């Protein structure tokens, strides 16, 4: 599952990444300043992806995406989503590779270590369970990103009366769904973990109102992607919503 920097898919992604800005410019190794344009940010993100600096690439893509969203530049948002997805895919693959080898790590307490808020230090797949809650999952994932530790993380809630397993992630919105319990609650399989996360992301997509306007759908998917950051189809849904919003905006002019 190791990334192949010469794959045709990655070459296509990099080409689209460079196209996220309106002009082609020579990449700079320094981080863009506070007032940098979307073009400059995406040029730096392109270089970060080429240099296999996935966390930096993701951070810059998110920065550019927020700028484009604020400016309602929907077509540009659509172009930014694909390289963002690629950076996150590489991070997830590293976490999954560790999870397949070591198994899913079940946590019912926060990591203990030095500092005020120690985080996860090892790559892998993590399932948090009570008394830990959704806010713990969000905080640990954000801390892992700051520390450049590839983790794939999800939070489960107390078993329902019907014997179902609720899972949740929180962010700008809260997304939760229910799935079948794993055969072994203390050692869920890697397959169960991946399939459950897929179901959580699918629930996020299905929760977007069908009668929402094109611009509203962009907002809904934008918020859900900020909550469930690893879901492939959620990235694609946001990209499609952005393209539809761009088309609608152009038609109304």
Give the chain as a 3 state SS string: CCCCCCCHHHHHHHHHHHCCCCCCCCCCCCCCCCCCCHHHHHHHHHHHHHCCCHHHHHHHHHHHHHHHHHCCCHHHHHHHHHHHHHHHHHHHHHHHHHHHHHCCEEECCCCCCCCCCCCCCCCEEEEECCCCCHHHHHHHHHHHHHCCCCEEEEEECCCCCCCEEEEEEECCCEEEEEEECCCCCCCCCHHHHHHHHHHHHHHHHHCCCCCCCHHHHHHHHHHHHHHCCCCHHHHHHHHHHHHHHHHHHHHCC
pLDDT at 250: 80
As a whole number of Å, the end-to-end CA separation of the chain is 47
Residues 105 and 162 sit within 8 Å (Cβ to Cβ): no
Residues 96 and 194 sit within 8 Å (Cβ to Cβ): yes
Q: pTM for the whole thing?
A: 0.85
Q: What is the pLDDT along the chain (253 residues), one digit of tens a residue?
A: 434 343 444 444 444 444 444 333 334 456 788 889 999 999 999 999 999 999 999 999 999 999 999 999 999 999 999 999 999 999 999 999 999 999 999 999 988 765 556 689 999 999 999 999 999 999 999 999 999 999 999 999 999 999 999 999 999 999 999 999 999 999 999 999 999 999 999 999 999 999 999 999 999 999 999 999 999 999 999 999 999 999 998 877 6
pLDDT at 252: 74
pLDDT at 18: 44
pLDDT at 26: 37
pLDDT at 117: 60
Tokens of 97: 């590779």
pLDDT at 21: 43
């Amino acid at each position: 599952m190791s990334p192949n920097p010469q794959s045709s898919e990655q070459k296509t992604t990099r080409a689209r990444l460079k196209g996220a800005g309106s002009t082609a410019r020579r990449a700079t190794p320094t981080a863009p300043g506070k007032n940098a344009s979307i073009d400059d940010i995406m040029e730096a993100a392109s270089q970060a992806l080429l240099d296999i600096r996935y966390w930096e690439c993701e951070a810059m893509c998110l920065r550019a995406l927020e700028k484009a969203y604020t400016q309602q530049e929907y077509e540009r948002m659509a172009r930014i989503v694909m390289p963002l997805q690629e950076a996150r895919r590489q991070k997830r693959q590293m976490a999954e590779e560790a999870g397949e080898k070591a198994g899913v790590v079940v946590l019912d307490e926060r990591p203990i270590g030095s500092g005020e808020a120690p985080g996860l230090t090892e790559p892998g797949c993590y399932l948090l369970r009570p008394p830990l809650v959704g806010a713990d999952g969000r905080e640990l994932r954000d801390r892992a990103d700051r520390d450049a530790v590839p983790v794939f993380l999800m939070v489960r809630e107390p078993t329902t009366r019907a014997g179902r397993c609720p899972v949740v992630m929180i962010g700008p919105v809260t997304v939760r769904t229910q799935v079948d319990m794993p055969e072994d609650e203390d050692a869920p399989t890697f397959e169960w973990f991946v399939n459950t996360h897929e179901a959580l992301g699918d629930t996020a997509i299905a929760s977007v109102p069908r009668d929402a306007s094109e611009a509203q759908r962009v907002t809904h998917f934008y918020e859900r992607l900020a909550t469930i950051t690893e879901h492939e189809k959620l990235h694609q849904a946001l990209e499609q919503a952005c393209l539809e919003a761009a088309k609608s905006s152009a038609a109304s002019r």
